[in-house]
Each structure stands twice: as structure tokens, then as C-alpha cells.
Chains A and B, each alone.
Chain A
Amino acid sequence: MMETLSPWIVIPASILIMISGLLVLTASIGMVRVSSFLPRTHIQAVIYSTALWALLLASLLLTFSLKDRTFLHEILIGIFIFITSPVSTILLVRSFVLREERANPADQGVTTPLASDAATSAQENDGTAASDVASIEAELEMEPEQDQGGKNQADAQITRGIAPPAAEPKI
């Protein structure tokens, strides 16, 4: 039965089969090397599906040329994987995201910040807000500077230099 195959069928089929094997090997090495979960789902969903499609294409080529059986199984497997692989990936990613959301507020609740830490953080926020206000004022003064021809440039520098010390007495 195999002797009736022409090389125009066998060579693309064998190339597709070897591409599938190399893709699976590369994807499993990548599953080990990638350290996070979400890129692993990407590897799982894309590369394994590509390898499976290559294998199914090779099988379809051989079955079409040999005509020894119907090609229902390949199409059925392809449709089945095409439907079910995003579903399982989405379920896994949902469970991962839910677990991370559950884990982060638990950490914040366990390590309740002290009052002094809260005060220092508030003061830091005030300082950053003051510096932001100073920089915004400086930018606002920089805009008419272009019209007036550089007179206010020194003023802008002065406000930039003065504003952070103005924030210090609040601390």
C-alpha cells in the first residue's frame, strides 16, 4: 500500500511531521525556561496547537492520497482541540488571577502598617505633592516665557529651587 505513494505527498508529510516534533520539543523546553505562569499558558495555547495542526495536516495528506479510510477522525480531533483549548486556558487563567487577587489583600491585612509609618508615608506624599505643584507652576511660568523672551527664566528657576524647601516646614 505504501508503494503507491508519490514523493510529492511523502516529502511534505514527513516535513510536517518533523516540524511538529521539533515544535513540541522546543515548547517543552520553553515551559521549563519561562518562569511565570501566564507566558506558559501562551506556550501551551499557541505552540502545541500549531504542532497538532501540522500533525493533522500530514495525516490528512496521507489519508487523501491513500484513500484507505475516511478522514473523519482528523477533522474531529482538530475541531475538538480548536474548541476546548481556549476554554481550559481561560479557566486556568481565571483561577490564577483570582488566587492572586485573593493573596494580595491578605498580605496587606496581615502586615497592618504602624501609625508612624502611615504618618511618614503621608508626609512623603505631601512632599511629592508639593514638588509636583512646584514643577507644575514652573511649567506654567515656562509657557509665557517664550512670548516674553526669556525674562521669566530666572523666576522659573527660583521657584524650582524654592519650592522643595517650602515643602520641608510641613514635615
Chain B
Amino acid sequence: METLLTWSCYFTLFCFALAGVILSHPLFVGPTPQDRVLGIDALYLIGMMIALTLGMLYRTSWYFDIGLLVSLFGFLSTAAMARFLLRGEVIEP
């Protein structure tokens, strides 16, 4: 039973890595700036999912803290860039 969980975690990590490679297409080629921001948001989500999967694979609590921090930074960066695209300035005086 241990090997099934381990190999499913490895398979999921491979899928996440492949998805991260594929997501570089809307990040670099995306026609509008919003597409690029969306690609960055999706990459943050995938990074958080990789942290969660590693936490399930090695059974430590540290990876879940890392995932929480990555999701927090992802939301902050996405909100800041969306506000920059909306107003032209992140923090207005």
C-alpha cells in the first residue's frame, strides 16, 4: 500500500512538471497582458500543488506551510498586477 501512494505521488509530480512546462506558452506568447498574468497565477497554483504533493509523499508538515505561503504570494502578485493593469499604478497616493 505504501508503494501505490508513492507512485501515484510521483505520477502527479510528473504531470505537474509537464503542466508547468506547457504553461510557459501563455506566459511568454500570450496575446494580452492579462493572459500572462493568468499564466503566472496558474504557475503559482501548480507550485502550491507540488508542495502539497511533496508533503503527502514525505509526511512532513513543513511543505504545507510552504504551500500556504506560495498561495498567499500568488494571490498578492496576481492582485497587484491586475490592479496595475486596471489603474496603471499599484498603490495610489
Give me the interface of A with B, judged by CB distance under 8 Å. Answer: 1-3, 5-7, 10-11, 13-15, 17-18, 20-22, 24-25, 27-29, 31-32, 37, 40-41, 44, 48, 51-52, 55-56, 58-59, 62, 66, 68-69, 73-74, 76-77, 80-81, 84, 87-88, 91-92, 94-96, 98-99
Besides A51-B49, A91-B86, 15 other CB < 8 A contacts? A17-B53, A17-B56, A24-B46, A27-B42, A32-B26, A37-B35, A52-B49, A58-B56, A59-B52, A66-B59, A77-B71, A80-B68, A80-B71, A88-B79, A99-B85
Q: Are A25 and B15 in contact (CB under 8 A)?
A: yes
Contacts of B71 in A (CB 8 A): 77, 80-81, 84
Q: A1 CA to B60 CA in the complex, in Å?
A: 12
Q: Shortest Cβ distance from B72 into chain A, in angstroms?
A: 7
Number of residues of chain B lying within 8 A (CB) of chain A: 50
Contacts of B78 in A (CB 8 A): 88, 91-92
Of B5, B23, B35, B38, the residue contacting A10 (CB under 8 A) is B5
Contacts of B35 in A (CB 8 A): 37, 40
Main secondary structure of the interface of A (DSSP, over half): helix
Q: A92 CA to B34 CA in the complex, in Å?
A: 6
Q: Are A31 and B42 in contact (CB under 8 A)?
A: yes
Q: Are A48 and B42 in contact (CB under 8 A)?
A: yes
Contacts of B86 in A (CB 8 A): 91, 94-95, 98
Q: A115 CA to B75 CA in the complex, in Å?
A: 51
Q: Are B15 and A21 in contact (CB under 8 A)?
A: yes
Q: Are A55 and B52 in contact (CB under 8 A)?
A: yes
